[in-house]
Every structure is written in C-alpha cells, then in structure tokens.
Amino acid sequence: MEIYFDNAATTMVCKEAADAALSAMTMEYGNPSSLHNKGLEAEKIMRRGRESVAALWGVKAEEIYFTSCATESNNLALSGAVKKGLKWGDTVITTKAEHPSVLEVLENLKSEHNFKLIYIDLLKNGQPDMDMLKKYMSEKIILISMMHVNNETGCIMPVREAVNMVKKASPRAFAHSDMVQSYGKTGVSPAMLGVDFASVSGHKIHAPKGIGALYIKNGVSIKTGIFGGGQEKNFRSGTENVPGIAAFGAASEKAMAEREETNKKTAEIKKYISNSVLSCLDGCFTNGESTVSNILNITFTGLRSEILLHSLEARGIFVSSGSACSSNHPSPSKVLTAMGLKNGEIDGSLRFSFSGYNTMDEAKYTVKVLLEEVPKIRKFYRG
C-alpha cells in the first residue's frame, strides 16, 4: 500500500490535466503568437485555460498572468510593487509565517534599496499578532504581504483585516497574498481579501509542475524585469507554456466541480487522524487554529520527526517534516519557532496534507502505523 499524505508539497497530476497537456503537446502544438491556424488553436487553449483559472479564483480572465510557478509570481509582484512604492514610501510589512519566496525576495530588495522591513510576530495559535501590526500603521507603508493559508500549519490568516488596516493608513499601499494553499480549496478570491496581487501554483491542485499564475487587480500597474516578445500583455515575455496552461485550466475546472466534496472528505480524514492520535498517544498536540481541512500539523514529543517520517515511509506512508521548499536543508521550522514552540517540540512535528484522492481506509492504516511506530521510536530515541 502506498499512501501519499504530502499534498501541500505537490499533488498527483489528475487525468483531466494530463490529457489536456498531452493534447496541447501533440495536437494543438502551435506557437500562440503565430498567425496561422496552429497558432490560433494554441491561443484558444490559452484563452480557455485563463478563463478556467480565473473562474476558480473568482476573478476576471484579464487579471490572470501566467508564470512558471508561485515563486516567480511572488518575485514579480513584490519586486514590482516595492520599486514603484519607494517613490513615495519607505516601509514594507510581512509576517514571520511567509514562504521563503516572499521572505527572501523582500530581504534581497531591502539590501538593495534600504527600506524598513517589518516582520509581524505569530501568536501561539499560528495567527499573526494583529495588535503588533496596528503599532506600525503609517502613511509611508508601500506594501503588505500576508499569505492566505500557511503551508506548514494550514492556518487561515486574517488577510482582509490586515489589508483594510494598512490601506486605511496608507491608501496608496499595495497588498499581496500568497494564495498557493487556498486556491481551489477555500473558495476565497483575491477580491474578497482586498489584495492587488495574488500568487498560485498549478501543481498544488493536480496540474503539472512548471505552471503558475499571478493575479493583478485591474487598474494596478507595476513594471516587470522580463522583456522580449511582449507576451502576457508585455508583463512576462517568453513563449507561453501552452501544455501547462491547458492542464492548469483542466485541473481548475475539476477542482471547482469537486471542491465541496473534496473538502468534506479531507475534513473527515483530518479529524479522524487528529482525534485518534491525540486520544491514543501521550505527548502529542496539533499546531495552529482556524485551519483548512486538508492540512494537519502534529507534534509528537519525545522523538525526531525525521526518524518517524522514514519509519512511516518504510510502511508506505509519505508525509512531510515541514515546508517542502526547505525540508532538504534541515533547520528548525521558522513558522513553528515564531509560534513559540520549543526546539524539542519543533523537532517532533510532522505535516499531513490531504487531497480528494485520499481515503478513510488510508487514514485508518496511518493511525494504526503511528500507534505502533511512535512508542517504539520513543523507547529507543535519546534526544
């Protein structure tokens, strides 16, 4: 048996997305910039993909700009917003819960342009400290970036409240949200959050890796650093990834049709694993409050998560010990650290993340294995 509970890292490509990509690669393979029929076929695929991604996100098709992934989307949005905003402001605000593709971009921009970069602390429940945010309100704020759903804990962040607060103090400020973990799952749109920019990756919703999108609110304009053929309305030059766009669109359509059913299924799986572990194993607790249905972060005290992760893998269960983008470089989770967990608690934390392809039988088997492996590892582990 193989059980994949690491869907927050990446997902299996669904048949609909794979079929759409294959057709775009082997049938409608023209360059969408070409004027002949093959080019027009490719352009039509792009248009449908754009409309499908926009529909799932609750935005207009013309507000969607295709990229290679959310990391690129974050880079483009943050760089453009900061460089434009520095003409009149000097402060950027983010949180300690953000993805590296936000934090590292802002750090690099700060070293280049020397602005004030404020990191909002996290509370023990994984939520940002809104009282701290209030203290930094100023008309000099040029940007706030706050993710919608945290990739490690699944916490749903109060983006709308934060954006409203910032824009009241600084009406010209830009607002950005990394919506990678909420796209296709929460039904929340960038417009509901009040942001100017939002980022997403297709591989989190059963599309292939290598395709993403950036939402740019109509009327908002920033410069790009990618020049060439003028694709994506001169915002991101380069021949478009038509197969990826076709697959992204197909996966978005599937996610929209199955969202309610998928959320119900993942919520049941999450509840079963959480309740079973907490009731049957001492020294365990979950991390984060107000979380999405498909992400569960559990601390197993008295062991190292890496050991438990490989013990589960040996039994056919795949989970994560943290963010997939940083798990190959072992270091304490910055998110859990910011939440105030002790080193031993952070070392014993695992993330389980689910999709509509997972089943309750998989959850039951996983609990059975956990109840066997955790006591065994604790018995021999010397932390």
Q: Which residues are catalytic?
A: 325
Work out the widest C-alpha separation in the chain, in whole angstroms: 69
Report the amino acid identity of residue 362: E
Please tell me the number of Cα atoms within 13 Å of 304 on its side-chain side: 10
CB 59 within 8 A of CB 190: yes
Any idea what DSSP says for residue 206? T
Question: Count of H helices and E strands in the chain?
Answer: 12, 12
How far is Cα 187 from Cα 185, in angstroms, rounded to an integer?
Answer: 6
Is the CB of residue 172 less than 8 Å from the CB of residue 141?
A: no
Q: Are β-strands 295-300 and 349-353 bridged in parallel, bridged antiparallel, or unpaired?
A: antiparallel
Tokens of 342: 């002790």
Beta bridge partners of 287: none
Give how far Cα 55 sits from Cα of 93, 140, 183, 247, 286, Å: 30, 35, 11, 15, 34
Amino acid identity of 8? A
Could you give the 3-state DSSP secondary structure of residue 285?
A: strand
Tokens, residue 339: 């939440």
User: Which amino acid type is present at position 61?
Assistant: A
- Return the axis-axis angle of helices 305-314 and 360-380, rounded to nearest 10°: 130
Chain-centre distance of CA 222, in angstroms?
23
End-to-end CA distance of the chain: 31
Q: Give me 280's structure tokens.
A: 């049957």
